[in-house]
A and B are shown apart, each in its own frame.
Chain A
Amino acid sequence: NQSKFPALSVFRSSPRFLLSGPCFDLYSKGFKMSISRAPLMNLVRLKGTPILEQLHLEERLLRASTDNWCIVNDGTNVPTIVMGMSGKPSQLLEVGPVIKDRIPVIKRFTGGGTVIVDKSTLFVSLICNKDDVPSVQPYPRSVMAWSGSLYGEVFEGVDGFQLRENDYVFGDRKFGGNAQSIIRNRWIHHTSFLWDYNVRNMAYLKLPSKVPQYRLERDHTEFVCRMKDYIERSDFVEKTVKAVGKQFAMKEVNIEDIDSYAKGEHVKSTRLLTMEELQEAMASTSQSA
């Protein structure tokens, strides 16, 4: 059955026709085609932005903006420890060396574990309206299934990539730490990818009490791997943008223009831990030792 107006027909078996910038992906079955506009996603490219600043930006865009966002930060400026919302420094960090070496410690607004990030880390954050990703329920496992599928496209052809017990791994080695925050109608999924890392920095982190089963009591250096051994840095970024661009219409936004997208007050829970808090953590560690 050929529709008189093929552009307006309902396309039953593969209903997605995406408009992504100037490019069209055309699906046709017989003579039926349809056009539906993909939701817009703003793309912000950063380089060397301090991770505290990046997290403040993300929390602001999640809570005070109604747009979808993809933020890519190519490295942060100094080695920084980032804990999840419920993280306790006394349990997760070797607090003595952290204080001695003056490593900043951040508690972020999302869940999940502890990472130490630096200039070689690559950050990708996706903030979405739940209605713009209708296949995804606003719950953690549903969001992770979606993101796992998205990164599956990015790492297509790279041996061993999978989402394993909520971690991004090559085989049994983790190369990205991810976390999420879900609010009423929106959610964020953000990842710090271990492009490369300094083994010495891993020594600031304790073995957490809760670990995925596949970790098998391995210490950090045996558990993680470097993404640079699997994919080129620029290749990864462009493939990620392309994978996101299959589901959204991408629009580049300069960081200088952010104010026009996110107005008003919002809950701010990401913060830098004070020296007093770290010293208290060290004291409580000594008492329990």
Chain B
Amino acid sequence: MAARFLWASRAASHLRISVAQRGFASVVLKDLKYADSHEWVKIDGNKATFGITDHAQDHLGDVVYVELPDLGRSVSQGESFGAVESVKATSDINSPVSGKVVEVNEVLTESPGLVNTSPYEEGWIIKVELSDAGEVEKLMDSDKYSKFCEEEDAKH
């Protein structure tokens, strides 16, 4: 747990954002936005970077493959644009906001495990040019997302 908080702190420092320490729960970074399908998004002007959250990677298990979209492809909020494979399962990755894919993390092709070890930093998945900045308002902040994860886990 201490090791996880350490990498989260390093990631947060690099991203210049603060960390919410949630005890034994998964790590949630403040200043990111979150979708209810467990993707995070960092907005930088009219660009957004996505990945899956620490909660998601923990529940998915070891990621052995990431299916990345083509450059230039359009993505729509709430819809699938790719997938990860873990424990014999493909799991959709859904886009937290709409836009056009301008960069994909090719490193994940050779090192899919980065999604597990560094979900908010080296495990980023795609970057898009936003088509509707207003969509970000529909996403959860870190506090709401933390609560959402706790409620989801408590049901099972």
Contact = CB atoms under 8 A, between A and B. Distances in A.
Q: Do A and B bind each other?
A: yes
Interface of A: 84-86, 109-113, 134-137, 139-144, 166, 178-184, 187, 210, 267
Q: Tell me what chain A mostly uses at the interface: helix, strand, loop, or mixed.
A: loop
B92 interface: yes
Indicate the size class of the contact surface on chain B: 20 to 34
Contacts of B72: none
A89 B135 CA distance: 41
Given A142-B156, A184-B37, A184-B94, A166 B64 contact: no
B90 to A, nearest CB: 5
Contacts of A179: 88-89
Interface string B71-93: 00000001010010111111110
A183 B80 contact: yes
Nearest to B112: A86
A86 B92 CA distance: 14
A160 B51 CA distance: 41
A166 B87 contact: yes
Given A184-B37, A267-B80, A111 B90 contact: yes
Contacts of B155: 134
Contacts of A111: 65, 85-90
A217 B90 CA distance: 26
Interface string B18-61: 00000000000000000001000000000000000000000111
A166 B87 CA distance: 8
A137 B83 contact: no
B67 interface: yes
A141 B80 CA distance: 21
Contacts of A180: 88-90
27 contacts: A84-B88, A84-B90, A85-B83, A85-B85, A85-B90, A110-B88, A110-B90, A111-B65, A111-B85, A111-B86, A111-B88, A111-B89, A113-B88, A136-B156, A137-B156, A139-B59, A140-B86, A140-B87, A141-B59, A144-B88, A166-B88, A180-B89, A181-B89, A181-B90, A181-B91, A182-B91, A184-B92
